[in-house]
Structure 1
Amino acid sequence: MVSEAGALNPIEAFAIVGIAGVGAQWLAWRFRMPGIVLMLVAGLILGPVTGIFVPERDIGELLHPMISLAVAVILFEGGLTLDFHRLGDARPVVKRLVLLGAPLGWVLSALALNWVAGLSWETSIVFGGIMIVTGPTVIAPLLRQARLQTRPAQALHWEAIVNDALGALAAVFAVLVVLVRHAHMDGSVAAWVLVKGVVFASLLGLAGGHGIVAAFRHNLVPEYMKVPVLFVTVIMVFAGADMVLPESGLLSVTVMGIVIANAKLPSYAEIYRFKESATILLVSGVFILLAAGVEFHTLQMLDWRALAFVLVVMLVVRPLTVMLSLAGTGLPWQEKLLIALTGPRGVVLVAVSGVFAARLVSDGIEDGVMMVPLAFVLVLATVVLNGFTLAPIARALQLTAGERPGLVILGGSVFATGLAQALEKAGVNVLIADPNRAHLLTARAVGVPYFHGDILSEAAEDSIEFIAYTTLLAASDNDAYNTLVATDLAPELGRDAIWQLARHKEEIARHALPKQLGGQHINGNRTLEQYLDLIAEGWIFRTTRLTEEYTLQDWREARPEVIPLVVINRGRLQFIRDPARIDGRPGTRIVSMIPPETVEKIRHEAELSHRAREIARVEARILRDADAEAEAEEKGRRPGH
C-alpha cells in the first residue's frame, strides 16, 4: 500500500477516476466484454491491490457527498427512461413482474441475505430492496447479442427499467425505516417523521418534474440552457428532500424523472442524449470509487456464505420470483423459463449499496459494510453467467429472432425492392419502410416485407421487431429525411451500421446539409436517381457466392464491370466502401449490380449450359434405350425364348 506521503491530490484523483472508468468502458466496447466487469477490475487494481488510489485518503470528506449526488443523477436517469407509453406487447408481463415480482423478490432476497449470507435483518431488508433491480445498462447489450424475439426481449428490458427505479425506492423506504427506528424515537413520532419525509420528497419530485415540463413547454427556458437548468433542478430537488429526511432525495429525483419522461416534451430527445452521456461518466466514476474503496479485510470476510448466497439468488430467488409472478398469464413456458434464468444486476445495485452501506455503518449497523462487496460479487456472477448463457438458452428454447443478418431500407423504390430481393436470396432479413404507401407498391407486388409509416414513430417501435435488424440504409427520395433518420438512429444502432445514399449536390453551398450528419456512403457514392437510371438502362441485382473453386479473384476477372454493393459473411452484413478490400473467404456472398451486356452474357451462358444439359440428357436416354434393346436381343437368343 502507498503511504500517506504518496497520497494523490484531488485533481490527480479525479483524473485517475475518469481515465480508469471511461477507459474500462472503451475497452469493453472494443473487445465486446461487459463494461461493468472491467470497471470492477480497474477499481480493485487501483485500490486494494496496488494502493495507488484510495478514495477516503485522496478525496476525503467530499467522497460520500459526491457518491450520493452521482447516485441521485443515475436514479433520475432511471426515472427519465421510464416512459409508460413504450411498454408495447410486454405491458401485461411487466405489470406482473413489477406489481407481484418486485415485492416477492424483495422478501425472498431479504430471507436469503439473512438465512444464507448471515446478515442482520436491518441490512437484509435494505439490501433486499436494492436487489430488485436488474440493470438496464447491462441487460440491453445482452439482448442485442442474443437477438431475442420481441416479447421476451421487451419484458426483460422494461422490467430492468421499471425495477431500476422501483428497487431504489424500496431501498430508500427500507433505510428510512431502519434509520428512524435506530433513532430510538417513539412509535408515533417515528411514523410521523417517516411519512412526512416520504410525502414531502414525493411532492417535491412531482413539483420539480411538472415545473420543468411547464417551463420547457412554454419556452420559458432557451434551448441552450435546458440541460443546465434540468441538472441544477435535479440537485436542488435532491438537496431539498434530504434536508427534511436524509436519503429521501433519491425518491424525489426518481419521481421527477418519471414525470418528465411521460410528459412528451418536444426537446426530450436532446435531454435524453445528454443524460446518457452524463450517466456514463457518473456510472464509471461511482464504480471506480466504490471498487477502489473496498478494503482487503472486507474482501476476506467473503466466505462460503457469499458463494452460497449468490447461487441461491440466481437459482432459487430469481426463478421462483418470476414463475410465481407470471403464473396464470398464458405466457409460453419457454418465455417464462428464459426470463426466470435472466437477471443480471448492474451499476445501480452497487451505487445505491455504497450510499446506504455508509449510512447504516454510521448509524451503528456494523454488517452494513458487507453490502458493497456482496453487491460486487452478485453483479460479477450474474453478468458473467448471463453473458455466456443467455444466447445458448434462447436458441435451445427457440426464442431467438434468428441468426440471419437484418437490414432496414428506408424508402420504397425499384432500387430498394431489387436490392431487397437479392439480399433475401443471400439469407438476409430485409424490411422496406416508407411513409408514402405509393412508394411501397413494388415491394408489395413481389412480397418483400414492408412497413408503411415513419420509421421514427411510436407505431414503428410497436410494429417492427428492431432487434432482428442490425443495419439501416437510408435510400428514400428525400435527402433531408434520410439524413434525419440516419442521424437519429446512429447512437442506437451504432454509426458503423448506418448507411445512406449520396445526397444531391446543392449549387449554393450554404443550402447543403452539414456533411457530418447522416450515414456512411457506399462504393461509388451514387444518388438514388443514379441507381434508378442504371436500372432503367437494364442493370440488375445479382447475388454471387464465393467457394474454394470460385474465388474472389475469379469473380473479379469474370465480372470486371459490376458495381459491388454488399458483402454477407458469417452472419454479418456490410456495405462496401472500397471494392479493393472485400473479404473474399469461401462462403462469402456478394450482392452487386451488373450491366445489361453482362446480363445478356450470363443469359447466353445459361442458355448454352441449358442446351448442354439437354444434349447430355438426350444422349443418356439414347444410351439407356440402346442398352435396353441390346439386353432384350440377348434374352431373345437364349434357349427357351
Structure 2
Amino acid sequence: MTLHQLYVALFLGGLVLLASIAATRLATGVGLPSLLLFLGVGVLVGEGGLGLQFDNAQLGQDLGTAALAVILVEGGLTTRFSDIRKVLAPAAVLATLGVAVSTVVTAAAVHWLLGMNWQLALLLGAVISSTDAAAVFSVLRVVPLPRRLSGLLEAESGFNDAPAVILVMLFSVVPMELNAVDIVGTLVYELGIGTVLGLGFGVLGAMTLRRIALPAAGLYPLATFGLGMLAFAAAGTAHGSGFLAAYLASVVLANSGLPHRSATRSFAEGAGWLAQIGVFVILGLLVSPDQLLDEVVPAIVAGLALLLLARPISVFLSLIGFRVPWREKMFLSWAGLRGAVPIVLCTYPIVAGVPDSWRLLHIVFILVVLYTAIQGPSLRRVAEWLNLIPRDTTREIQVDAAPLDVLGAELLTMTVLPGSRLHNVTVLELRLPDPSVITLIIRDGQSFVPQPVTRLQIGDELLIVTTSVTRDQAERRLRAVSRRGKLAYWFDEYGDPA
C-alpha cells in the first residue's frame, strides 16, 4: 500500500466512522438499535453501493470475533454486580438451557416449514438462539426497566454468546455427527474453562491494580480493558470459552473498587462503540444485496418461529422454579434482541465449508434487520403495557476512586504517644500547612471526622492527607507541636528531624 492509498483509506475510514456516529443520534431518538444503521453503512459502501468488493469470510470471522470480545468486555465493565447478583442463577439457565431449547425449536420449525436440511436448520437455530449483548445494552440505555429485569437481560446477553458459539462450531463440522455425550462434554469443558479463567483473571487483575500505582491515570482504563482481552485470549488458547471468560473477568474488575472507574467505563463504552461500528460495517460489506430478496420469505418464517415459539418456550421453560412474574417473562420473550452475534456466527460455517452456508448469512442478515427494527422501537411500549416501567427512574451517582500518588497527594498516619505535647491541642491550633488536613481520627477503636475544635488526645491515631509538595512541612509541624506544643515557633522549634 502506497502512502497515498493509506491516506485515502484513512479518509474513507474516518468518513464511515463519523457517518456511523451521526446515525446513532437518529437511532437513539426512536429507540432503534443504531447497529442496524451501521449495517446499512456497510451495505452502502459495499458492492451494491459504492462498489467496494469484500468477500473474505475468514477475515470477517476473525475481525468479528475480536469485536465481539471487545463488546463483551465493555458489557462487563459497565455492569454493576449489585444489579445482576440476584439473577445469576436464572440468567445462567437462560443462557444454557434457553439457548438449547431455542436452537431445537427453531431448527425443527425451519426444517418442517422450509424443507431446510437438518445441518443448516440446526446452524440457523444455534446462530439466532442467543440475545445480542450490544443490541441489549443499546436498548437498555433508553428503556428504564426495573433493576432485576434489566439485570437479567444484561446477564443473559453476556453469558449466552458462549453456548451459542460452541453449538455453531459443533454443527459446522462436515459431515456433521451428532453425539449427545460429546456435545454436553464440550459445553461443560469450554464453559468451565471460561468460567475459571475469567474469574481468575478478574480477581488477580483487581488485586494487582489495587497494589500498584501507574504513572498516568489514563493507563488504568487500558490495563483494565487489557485484562479482559487477556482473559478472552487465554481461555481461547486453552480451548475454553473466551467470550465467557472476557465477560466474567470484566464484571469482576468493574466491581472491585479499582481506581478511575468512571474513566474506565467511558473508555470501555468508546471501545465498545468502535467495535460495534467496525463489525457491522464489515458484515454489511460481506452481504450481496442482489441475493437478499430471495431469502426474505425464509427469514420471515425463521423470525416468526423464533419470536412466537422458540423464544417464549425457552424463557418459560428456563424460568420454571424461579420467582419471575409472568409479566417479566412476557417481556423477556419479546426482548430477545439479535444483532452482531448471529451475523458473525454465520461466518463460521462459511469458513468450515458447510454447503449453502452463504445462504444462511443472507437469511440471518434479513432476520436481524427486520426483527430488530420491529422489536427495538416497541420495547418501551411493551414495557409500559406490561406496567414494568418504574415510576422512580432516578439514576444512582457514580463514585470514583484513585490512588493518592496519582492525584499528587499522600496519606500520612501517626499516633499521639504518651508525653506528646499534641495532647489537648485542637485541630485548628495545629495549623497544618495548606492544603494538608486531618481527615479521620481513630480513638478507642471508634473513627470519626474531626472538627476544627476537636482536641487531640493521647492514643489518637490520625489520618492526614497532604500533597507531595507540602508533606515535609506537615511532618515538621507535627514534630514541632509534639515537642513544644502549639506555640512551638515561639520557642524556635521547627520540627527538624532528630
Q: Deviation at 1:207?
A: 4.0
Structure 1 CA distance for aligned equivalents of residues 99 and 70 of structure 2: 23
Q: Give per-residue Cα distances to partners, 1:443-491, cap 9 Å, x unaligned.
A: xxxxxxxxxxx8558xxxxxxxxxxxxxxxxxxxxxxxxxxxxxxxxxx
The structure 1 residue matched to 2:66, chosen from 59, 66, 69, is 69
Q: Deviation at 1:258?
A: 3.8
Q: Deviation at 1:268?
A: 3.5
Alpha-carbon RMSD: 4.4
CA 1:174–1:220 in 2, change beyond 3 Å: closer, same or farther? farther
Q: Deviation at 1:170?
A: 0.7
Name the residue aligned to 1:227: 221
Segments of 5+ residues of structure 2 without an aligned counterpart are 400-433, 436-498
CA 1:99–1:68 in 2, change beyond 3 Å: closer, same or farther? closer
Secondary structure of 1:323's counterpart equals: helix
Does 2:105 correspond to 1:105?
no
* Letter aligned with residue 167 of structure 2: A
Does 2:329 correspond to 1:364?
no
Correspondence 1:238-277 to 2 at 5 A: 238-243=232-237, 245=239, 248-277=241-270
> Do 1:132 and 1:164's aligned partners in 2 also have CA atoms closer than 8 Å?
no
Structure 2 CA distance for aligned equivalents of residues 342 and 61 of structure 1: 31
Q: Give per-residue Cα distances to partners, 1:227-286, cap 9 Å, x unaligned.
A: 3334444444444544554x9543442343244245343443332221111101110111
Does 2:14 correspond to 1:25?
no
Secondary structure of 2:337's counterpart equals: coil
Structure 2 CA distance for aligned equivalents of residues 407 and 362 of structure 1: 46
Structure 2 CA distance for aligned equivalents of residues 340 and 128 of structure 1: 16
CA 1:294–1:339 in 2, change beyond 3 Å: closer, same or farther? same
Name the residue aligned to 2:277: 284
* Letter aligned with residue 73 of structure 2: F
CA 1:8–1:211 in 2, change beyond 3 Å: closer, same or farther? same
Name the residue aligned to 2:374: 385
Segments of 5+ residues of structure 1 without an aligned counterpart are 1-5, 409-432, 434-453, 458-509, 512-641
The structure 2 residue matched to 1:78, chosen from 66, 75, 79, is 75
CA 1:89–1:234 in 2, change beyond 3 Å: closer, same or farther? closer
Q: Deviation at 1:164?
A: 1.8
CA 1:329–1:236 in 2, change beyond 3 Å: closer, same or farther? closer
* Letter aligned with residue 44 of structure 2: I
| TM-score, length-scaled by structure 2 | 0.65
Name the residue aligned to 2:164: 171
Larger radius of gyration: 1
Name the residue aligned to 2:40: 41
Name the residue aligned to 2:128: 131
Structure 2 CA distance for aligned equivalents of residues 329 and 65 of structure 1: 38
Q: Deviation at 1:218?
A: 1.2
CA 1:198–1:162 in 2, change beyond 3 Å: closer, same or farther? closer
* Letter aligned with residue 74 of structure 1: I
CA 1:23–1:118 in 2, change beyond 3 Å: closer, same or farther? farther
Name the residue aligned to 2:295: 302
> Do 1:75 and 1:253's aligned partners in 2 also have CA atoms closer than 8 Å?
yes
CA 1:397–1:72 in 2, change beyond 3 Å: closer, same or farther? closer
Does 2:277 correspond to 1:293?
no
* Letter aligned with residue 357 of structure 1: C
Name the residue aligned to 2:471: none
Correspondence 1:144-183 to 2 at 5 A: 150=146, 154-155=148-149, 157-178=150-171
Q: Deviation at 1:111?
A: 3.1
Correspondence 1:49-64 to 2 at 5 A: 49-56=48-55, 63-64=60-61
Name the residue aligned to 2:407: none
CA 1:118–1:324 in 2, change beyond 3 Å: closer, same or farther? same
> Do 1:48 and 1:293's aligned partners in 2 also have CA atoms closer than 8 Å?
no
CA 1:109–1:82 in 2, change beyond 3 Å: closer, same or farther? farther
> Do 1:78 and 1:164's aligned partners in 2 also have CA atoms closer than 8 Å?
no
Q: Which has the higher contact order (CA 8 A, sep 6+)?
A: 2
Name the residue aligned to 1:312: 305
> Do 2:131 and 2:338's aligned partners in 1 also have CA atoms closer than 8 Å?
yes
